[in-house]
Amino acid sequence: MSQKIKALIPVRSGSVRVLNKNVRPFAESSLLELKVKQLLEIPSLDGVVVNSNSDEMLDIARGLGAETIKREEKYATSEVPMNDVYKNLAENMDCDFILYANCTNPLISTKTIEDMIKTDFGEHDSINSAHLIKENLWKDGKAINYDPSHHPRSQDLPDIFALNFAASLISRQNMIAYKNVVGEKPLLYGISEEEGLDIDNLIDFRISEFLFTSR
């Protein structure tokens, strides 16, 4: 019996740094609309679900052909721990595996998502998109990824990955148990920094829109 995989797009009202960023005009569309359309094109998915406390966003999703789940306001505030949100999101899904995809990562390609879905988990319990950080990092007055007395070229710095949450694949059971989209033994799936770009502020929004429209 095949395992059912559904995509989950979590969106909520009340974004502060970029007002209404999920539904404001972006590349003659919106971040939410573009992500729903992208995921609906992937044949290996058994459905696309938008979970939100916003009736406006749920109406947009339904109009595009996605399933919708109305989120309790309790799980749509900035005060609730994200771990509790993850657990609640998974508990409301009816599938075996969840492809968690933020619409604030508009540059990840459909092919990358398809390839992630096809990747064998092996001994890992989740697959999570990540990009390499090749920068000279310091913490508490000390270099943490290189020796300043033997300053390396940036390409020779150690491979340190940053999770970008553009796409994560995990079983519904583990997402509930871990209260996270990252398992205890995640497989970090390397993508470019551009694909992983997450819109967190207005500068990110404008850069992402420029890159998206210039493709």
Q: Which tokens in the block code for residue 117?
A: 């879905």
Mean pLDDT of 17-34: 94
pLDDT at residue 15, as a whole number: 76
pLDDT at residue 17, as a whole number: 74
pLDDT above 90 covers what percent of the chain? Answer: 93
**pLDDT tens by residue, 95-153:** 999 999 999 999 999 999 999 999 998 999 999 999 999 999 999 999 999 999 999 99
| Predicted confidence (pLDDT) at residue 62 exceeds the cutoff of 60 | yes
Give all domains of the chain, ordered by start, each with its CATH number.
5-130+165-213 (3.90.550.10)
- What sections of the chain are H helices per DSSP? 31-40, 55-64, 82-91, 110-118, 172-178, 202-213
Amino acid identity, residue 172?
R
pLDDT band (50, 70, 90) for residue 1: very low
Q: Which tokens in the block code for residue 191?
A: 């993508």
- For residues 196 and 163, what is the distance between their CA atoms, to the nearest angstrom? 9
Predicted TM-score of the model (pTM)? 0.93
**pLDDT tens by residue, 82-98:** 999 999 999 999 999 99
